[in-house]
Structure 1
């Protein structure tokens, strides 16, 4: 076990991962893999008719990024819960950075745990997705 998990403190960053820019190809590949073919995410004319300047990311794509960042930073067998809330649309071209910070140390079911505050933000620091996870230490 990594020393950062041996005795983390409140405020410690345990998850930190950046992702490449979201491109039209990213959206098309995710649509094919997920089955989410909502034209809002792949058809610029449809998005413009709906009042948006361009297509935008599927929310579940950003959630997948946050989940990947979480399991890259924390072994999956230590994950006790993971929940998210969509905060804002993620625009085409966004470069997402996901972080998880220790918000609370606790004990439950006989094990030491940490509650992490999770965020997925764009380069400007705008939160696109927020959430939390509980992990076993």
Structure 2
């Protein structure tokens, strides 16, 4: 069933979200983080919430959108397609944030339709702390007509880092709690198989959080998370519990105030789990 294009431009607003120190630390642990910026209150200025905790505090409009009956999404067949975050200011425990979202587009493809929206998150002072772009894919709303071929990016000849991340058995359950992503495809093996998946799959935003950790660990001085200003990923294929992911980074473009890096993420079979991923890092 096609999605309802009349919803383009529709706006949503979240209730205020109070940032809990307990939950922000829990979130960091849920994607295997070990950066003291998120844990050690003895640091000057105290801790910050992990930037990728935006998946929780900035997602208020997202929950409203994907369950909006007017749009017509079939949630049994919905997966995350792509995600972009731009971090404007740090968010700290006890901050209170509010997000507003606007549906921007519906793109019909052969095997489903993409629903896209943008959100802006402000803190209790009215300052913008986050801008985000979200795309979800409804596998039940395709046209059946072949898509134009996606060539992707040419393989780089030189990498600036390479590292691995082991996906724990049980990681999907750990990540579900602080992120708020309890979609049954991540926590119910029988349900996941019923909708055509090989079994429980990792939350795409957990894979993105791994990529953010790689960028902070390898591309910033002193592993400073505030230096990573933007991150974009497109989810290419499911990640399974127990897999080991390999991340590689390469320089794409040097600008006056930041450097843009491409990120490759591969599963055990050497196949992309992220596509066209990139981040920008302040210089």
Residue number in structure 1 paired with 2:192? 47
Contact 1:27–1:41 (CA under 8 A) maintained in structure 2: yes
Which structure has the larger Rg? 2
Matches within 5 A, 1:31-110: 31-75=176-220, 76-104=225-253, 106-108=254-256
Displacement, 1:77? 4.2
Which SS does the other structure have where 1:91 is aligned? coil
In the alignment, is the contact (CA less than 8 A) between 1:57 and 1:91 conserved in 2?
yes
Superposed displacement of residue 95, structure 1: 0.9
Partner of 1:134: 280
CA contact (8 A) 2:171 2:241 kept: no
Taking structure 1 as the reference length, the TM-score comes to 0.78
**C-alpha deviation, 1:60, in angstroms:** 0.5
Matched, 1:19 2:165: yes
Instruction: Report the structure, 1 or 2, having the larger helix content.
Output: 1
Q: TM-score, normalised by structure 2?
A: 0.40
**For 2:208 and 2:260, how far apart are their aligned partners in 1?**
18
With over 3 angstroms needed to count, the CA separation of the structure-2 counterparts of 1:56 and 1:69, relative to structure 1, is same
Measured after TM superposition, the shift of residue 51 of structure 1 is 2.1
Matched position secondary structure for 1:83: strand
Give distance in 2, aligned partners of 1:80 and 1:87.
23
Distance 2:183 2:231 in 1: 25
Computed over aligned residues only, the root mean square deviation of the Cα atoms, in angstroms, reads 2.0
Offset of 1:11 from its aligned partner? 4.7
CA contact (8 A) 1:54 1:92 kept: no
Question: Structure 1 segments of 4 or more deviating over 3 A?
Answer: none
- Contact 1:11/1:102, CA 8 A, preserved across alignment: no
